[in-house]
Structure 1
Amino acid sequence: MSAAAAATPAALPSADPPEQRRTLAVLIAAQTLSGTGLAAGITVGALLADDLLGSTGLAGVPSALFTGGAVLGALAIGRLCQRYGRRPGLAAGYAAGALGSLGVVAAVAAQHVALLLFALLVYGAGTATNLQARYAGADLAAPHRRGRAAGVVLLATTFGAVVGPNLVTVSGEAAEGWGIPPLAGPFLLAALAYGAAAVLIGVLLRPDPLLLARRLAVGAADSAEAPAERPAERLAEPTTGAAASRGPGVATGLWVMLLGQAVMIAVMTMTPVHLGHHGHGTGAAGLVIGLHVGAMFLPSPVSGWLVDRFGPLPVTAAGGLTLAAAGVLAAAAPGHSVGALAVALVLLGLGWNLGLVSGTAIVTAAVPVERRASAQGSVDGALAVAGSTGGLASGVVVAAGGYPVLAVCGALLALLVVPVTVAAARGRVRGRGGVRGR
C-alpha cells in the first residue's frame, strides 16, 4: 500500500474536482493491489502447467486460458458496468480474479488438472479488470484531461506488477508451511490482492463515476443554461453526437489498439526464445522483459499529457512509428547483444503505451456516456483476442523465417497505424467543414 499512498493524492492532477480526485485515488490503490495479483500468472503460470500437466509442450496452456478468461471477463465486466455502474462491475472482476486464484491453489494442492484449467480461466477475468479500470479513471475527467486520468490509473498497475514477482519466494515458503506446493504461493498472494482490491472498490468507489457521469450528461442536456454557467461541465463534458462526429470514431481507437497489441505481444513473446537460442540465460531474458514491462506502463501519465495537449491522433501516429522503430531495431540487433534488444523492447513497450492511452481517449470520447461501458468492454475483449493471435502467430513466423523476420513483419504491421491516423484526421477535417457549412 505504500506505493499507492505515494501516488495519492498529491500526485493527482490538482485541477480535478473532489469527485474525480477520490475516484482516481481509489482506483490507484486498487490497481496497485491487483497488479500484484496479475504478476502471479505471468511469473509461475507456465511452471505450474509444466509441473501439474507433466508436459513442457503444454506450458503455454495457462497463457491461452488467461487470454480466454480476459476476453470473457472484458465482455462481462463491460456489461455489468453498463447496467449497474463501475463499482459493481470492477468489484466483480477483481472478485473473479480472487476466486480463480483460490481455485488454482486448491487444484495444485489436490493435483486436480480439470480444476486447474477452469480456475485459470476464471483468474483471467481478473486480469481483464486491470485494463478496464482505466476507463473508470476517465469517466468524470474533463475532455482535456481524459488522457492523463487514464494514464495515472495504468501507471498504478506497475507498482504491483514489479512487487509481485519479488514475492514469489516468500509466498512460496508461506504456502509450503501450510502444506501447499510452493508454486501455488503466488496465487495465494493473488487471491489476497484481488480480494482486497474488490473490497476497496466495493466500499470506497463512491460516487460511482459512470453513474455520476450519466446524471451529469442528462442534466447538461436538459439545462438551458449557458455552458459557462453549468457546474456539471467542471466534472465532465458529455459527448454528443455532433461532438463525436467532429472527432475520431471508435473504429480508429480500436484499430490503433489492436495493431499495437498484436505487434507488442508477438515480438515480446519470442524475444526470450531468441535470447535463449543465442546462449543467454533466464537472467538476461528477465532483464529485457522487465525493462519492456516498465516501458509499457511507466510512461502512461506522460502519454496522457501528450494526448491532452496535442490530441490523440498525433500520439497514435507517434505510437505506430515507435513500434515500427522497435521492430527494425530488434531485427537488426545481433543475437548476442542484450543491450540492443533491451532498447528495442523498451521502444516496443513505449509504442504500445502511446497507442493504448491515445486509443482509450478516442474510444471514450467517441461513445455517448449511456453506451460507453459496454463498448469499452467489447474493445478490450477484441484486444485480448488480438494479443492471443499475435502470440500464436509469432511462433509460426519464427519457426518459418526466424526472429528478424518476425520483427520486420511487426514493424510493417505497426506502420498501418499511420494511414489509419491520416484517414481519421481527414475525416475530422471534413466533419468540421460540414458543421461550419451548416
Structure 2
Amino acid sequence: MATDLTAPRTARPDVASIQRRTLRLLFGTQIIGGVGVTIGIAVGALLAARIAGTAVAGIAQSAGVVGAALLAIPVTRIMARHGRRPGLVVAYAVGAVGGVLVVLAAATRWVPLLFLGMLLFGGGTAANLQARYTAVDLAEPARRGRQLSVIIWATTIGAVAAPNFAALADRVTSGWGLPPLAGPFAFSAAAFVLAGGVLLVLLRPDPLLTARRIAATAAPTAAAPTAAAPTAAAPTTAAPAAAVVAEAPAAGGQVGGGATPAAAPVGARLPRGAGMRAAWSVVRGQPAARLGIAAVAVGHLVMVAVMAMTPVRLGESHADADVLRLVGIVLSLHIAGMYAFSPIVGWLTDRLGRRAVILGGVGLLLAACAVAGTAGHHTPRLSVGLVLLGLGWSGTMVAGSTLLSESVPAGVRPSVQGLSDLTMGLAGAGAAVAAGFVMQVAGYPVLTLLAAVATVPLVALALRPVPTGASDEEG
C-alpha cells in the first residue's frame, strides 16, 4: 500500500478502490437511514401530542435532537478505538431500539417510555451525521469537499421520499394491531437495522483504520529530517502515553486562493481512544479546526432558530385548513435548499477554498434572515427566505465539516468530529427552545434579527488574518 496520500494515483490503486466502494456503500445506506429518520420525524410530534398532550409534543421532538448529540460521544469513542464500521453499526442499532420503544410507548401510552424511545431514536441521526466524515477518511485532498457533499446529498432522497411512506406504513401496520402513528416508527427501526446490517457486512476494510495505517507508515518518512537535524520548534511538552500518529501532508489540493489545506502537525502525540477532553485540547491548538466546528455549529443554530418558528409564523396568517399544506410546501423547499445543491457546494469548497465557502454560507444565512424577517405574511417571499436559509446551512456544513476533518490528526479525528456533532446538536436544541421564547415575546422579525447577530463571532473567526507562512485554511 502507498505510504503517502499525495503519491501518484498509480502508486495507491488499493486506496482509490476502497474509497469508491466506501462511497457507494455510504450513499446507499444514507438513503435508507434518511428514510428511517425522516419517516419518524414526520409523525413524531403528532404521536407525542396524542400520548402526552400538545404542550410536551415539542419536547419529545427535541429529545431526538439531544439524543443524537449525546450519542455522538460514545459512538465516536467506539470509532476512535475500533474504526468507523462498528461505530456506525452501533448508532443505527441504538436508533432501531429507540424506534421499537416508541412503538411500545404508543401501545401502552406510557410517557416516560416515549421520551426514552425518542432519545435513543436520535441514534439514526447520529449515524447519518457521522457518515459524512467517513466519506473523507481516504479522500484525495482536492476532492474532500465534493465527496463529503455527495453523502449529504444522498439524504435528500430519503428526506423527500420518507413523508410519503409515513401514511403507507401507518395503513400497513394498522392490520398488525399497532396503534395509529406507531407504524412509521416500526418502519424506521427496520430501516436502521437494514442500514446497519449492510455496513456491518460490507464496509471492509474500515476506511478510518486504513487511513491510520497510511498515516503511520508516512510518519517515519516525514519525521526523518527532524531526527537528523532537530529544531527549536520541535514539540517538547509531554502528552498522555500513546503511539505517535501523524497525518500525511495534504499537498496537492487547491483550497482558498491556491493554498493547500493545513496538515496536522507531524509527530503530535495522541491518547489512545481519545475522548472529548483530548479532542477539545486538539481543537484549541488548531485554528482551522476551531473555525470548522464554529461554522457547523453556528450555521445549524441559525437554521434551526428560524426554521423552527416558520410554521408558527405561517399559522398567524392562515386558517387551520391551509396552514398544514403551506407548511409542507415551505419546509420542502427549505429541505431542498439544505441538501439538493450540496454537490455544487462541495465542488465550490474544493475549488474556492473552505474559508471562502464558509463566508459565502454566512452571507446566505444573513440574506435569509433579512428576506424572511421582512416578508411579513407574504408566503412566497417567506419561502425564498427559507430556501436561502437551507443554502446557507449547506455552505457552513459542507465547508466546515471538510475543514475540520483535514485539520486534525487521524488518531483523534473521530473524537473531534464527535465533539463537533455534539456542539452542533446542543446548539440546535438550544436555538429551538430560545426561538420559541423570542417568538412569543418579540415576534418573528426580532427572531430573525437575533439569528443574524449570532453569526458575528463566526464572521470574525473566518476573517481572522492568516499568519505569515501559514496556509489559507490554517487561519
CA contact 2:438–2:446 (8 Å) conserved in 1: yes
SS in 2 for 1:82: helix
- The 1-side partners of 2:468 and 2:361 are apart by 22
What's the CA shift for 1:415? 4.3
Structure 1 residue 46 and structure 2 residue 45: aligned? yes
For residues 386 and 234 of structure 1, the distance between their equivalents in structure 2, rounded to whole angstroms, comes to 34
Alignment of 1:271-310 (within 5 A): 271-279=310-318, 280-310=322-352
Match of 1:313 in 2: 355
Contact residue 321 and residue 415 of structure 1 kept, 8 A: no
1:363 matches 2:404: yes
Distance of aligned partners of 1:201 and 1:232 in 2 relative to their CA distance in 1, 3 Å threshold: farther
- The structure in which a higher percent of residues are helix is 1
Paired residue type of 1:285: V
- Are residues 224 and 285 of structure 1, via their aligned partners in 2, closer, same or farther at CA, if it must alter by over 3 Å? closer
User: In the alignment, is the contact (CA less than 8 A) between 1:140 and 1:235 conserved in 2?
Assistant: no
Report the alpha carbon displacement of residue 174 of structure 1 after superposing the two structures with TM: 1.2
User: What CA deviation, in whole Å up to 9, does each residue of 1:74-112 have, x standing for no partner?
Assistant: 111111111110000001101111111111112212222
- Cα distance between partner residues in 2 of 1:384 and 1:334: 29
CA offsets 1:258-313 (integer angstroms, 9 cap, x no match)? 11111100000000100001115110111001110111111111111111111100
Comparing 233-242 and 351-360, the one that deviates more: 233-242
TM-score, length-scaled by structure 1? 0.89
Structure 1 residue matching 2:161: 3-state secondary structure: helix
* Partner of residue 330 from structure 1, selected from 372, 376, 379: 372
The correspondence for 1:255, drawn from 294, 304, 319, is: 294
Shift of 1:147: 0.6
Name the Cα RMSD after superposition.
Answer: 2.7
What letter matches 2:311 in structure 1? Answer: P
Q: What residue is the counterpart of 1:165 in the other structure?
A: 163
Q: Which amino acid aligns with 1:344?
A: G
1:13 aligns with: none
* Cα deviation code 1:371-405 (max 9, x no counterpart): 10011001101100000111011111111111011
1:98 is aligned, of 77, 96, 99, to 96
> Corresponding residue for 1:128?
126
Q: Does the 8 Å contact 1:320/1:416 carry over to 2?
A: no
* Aligned-partner residue type, residue 176 of structure 2: W
Aligned residue pairs, count: 413
- Structure 2 distance, partners of 1:427, 1:234, is 18
Structure 2 CA distance, aligned partners of 1:233 and 1:365?
8
What is the Cα deviation at residue 225 of structure 1? 12
TM-score where L is the length of structure 2: 0.82
Q: Tell me the alpha carbon deviations over residues 214-243 of structure 1, each in whole angstroms, 9 at most, x when there is no partner.
A: 0011111234799xxxx9999999943169
Secondary structure, aligned partner of 1:23: helix
Q: Is the 8 A contact 1:141 1:235 kept in 2?
A: no
Instruction: Please list, as runs of the form range in 1=range in 2, the aligned pairs for 1:176-195 lying within 5 A after superposition.
Output: 176-195=174-193
Per the TM alignment, residue 38 of structure 1 is displaced from its structure 2 partner at its CA by 0.8
Asked if 1:22 is matched to 2:21, the reply is: yes
The aligned counterpart of 1:341 is 382
Runs (5+) with no aligned partner, structure 1: 1-15
Alignment of 1:392-403 (within 5 A): 392-403=433-444
Distance 1:242 1:214 in 2: 13
Structure 2: runs of 5+ lacking an equivalent: 1-14, 225-247, 254-260, 268-281
Partner of 1:37: 36
For residue 75 of structure 2, the aligned residue among 74, 77, 83 is: 77
Percentage of identical aligned residues: 41
Question: What amino acid maps onto 1:272 in structure 2?
Answer: P
1:400-423 residue CA offsets vs partner (Å, 9 max, x unmatched): 111011112212223443222111
In 2, distance between residues paired with 1:325 and 1:97? 36
Shift of the alpha carbon at 1:345? 0.2
- Deviation string for 1:309-362 (max 9, x for gaps)? 111000010010100000000111121x21111110000000001000111011
Which residue of structure 2 aligns with residue 148 of structure 1?
Answer: 146
Q: Distance in 2 between matches of 1:390 and 1:351?
A: 17
3-state SS, counterpart of residue 352 of structure 1 = helix
